[in-house]
Amino acid sequence: MTAPAADDDQPTPGSGDPGPGEADPDVEADPGVEADLCAEADQRVDADLRVEAIEAAAGVLDGVARRTRVVPDPGLSAALGTPVWFKCEHEQHTGSFKLRGAYHRVATADPAARARGVVAASAGNHAQGVAFAAATFGVPATIFVPAGANPVKVARTRRWGARVEEVPGGVEAALAAAADFAARGGRLLVHPFDDLAVVAGQGTIGLELLDQVPDLGTVLVGVGGGGLVSGVAAALRARRPGVRVIGVQSVLAPAFAASLRAGRRLTAVVGADLPGAAARGRGVPTIPGSRLSGRPVLPRPAARPRTIADGMAVSEPGALTFALATRLVDEVVTVDEAAFWEAMVLLRRAGLAVEPAGAAPVAALLRHGRLVQGPTVAILSGGNIDPGVASRVKSLAAVATDDVGELRTTA
């Protein structure tokens, strides 16, 4: 079996990572973010987000959130020369890790505010977690989602009894609408990532991993606003500081990776057409023997293609999560769009149905061989896959004729 392309010291060419001293294209400083705001967030973190808070969150979630399984992947383990495990958060209630933070925030909130209703903004997975929590406590939920959000996620959110409002303009516009609606009615706003209670809930995954993989060396985590990677890193740093925590983003939504390199929060034009994007492969992977090889997924006329990983299409890190990640996360890398497809095919052939953002850590293993140091866990964060994406992944998996190891190394 061929090992994934080695890039022991440098990002894989075409991964979207700029070289030393280079700036990310289509990423600009946020004029509204001052250094003292990040410093203030750091002070709150030092005072409040201790591992005891994450352990308390685990107590709140006991009997509510599933302790999801970890499963080994023999193929990747052999190819990379170290055990590789998948943490199956896509099998969580509501199909995503987001349940943990959302439920913890709602459960520990002021009862009066909670009774007036809970409000959230989300591309879909956080929406389901909040709707689940609201239904559990018998309170109304209103969720604002970007127009054109994943229809599966929207339908499942409504199934939990939430009212869903579509907002044009992306996740940030939905967040603004949610904040305004919550303030006008004195309702409880459950932020998808920039909230200590939410981050503590996500951090319970880190505690589980310490029990499930005792000799854990590296954890790979998909990154949008940073709640999951920050929570997991906080738990691991407190209990086992030597474990490496690596975040993964799409090259078309690289704000967190660029911000960490710059040392300050940056705003990215999410989905902007980056120079050379066509060469990096914005569509499905090229799979030898496949009738679909090279067929684009995004319309060719689109000037501003969007990442297929809708769950991580966030234009800037949260103030709190960035402050945490700056101190706790080893690095955040980016991967090209084809890598998401290859990862989903790999996972499907392993019997795991995972959405694009949930497959990001596996995509990173396909592009960044240097990341693996010791027994490695890839957190599969969500499984609410769009029917069209699922159909394409099924077709790709069916027609791929090469050994799985060869598929995994396709750039």
Residues with catalytic annotation?
98, 381
Strands 163-167 and 141-146, sheet pairing: parallel
Let me know the angle formed at the C-alpha of 203 by 309 and 342, rounded to the nearest 5 degrees: 25
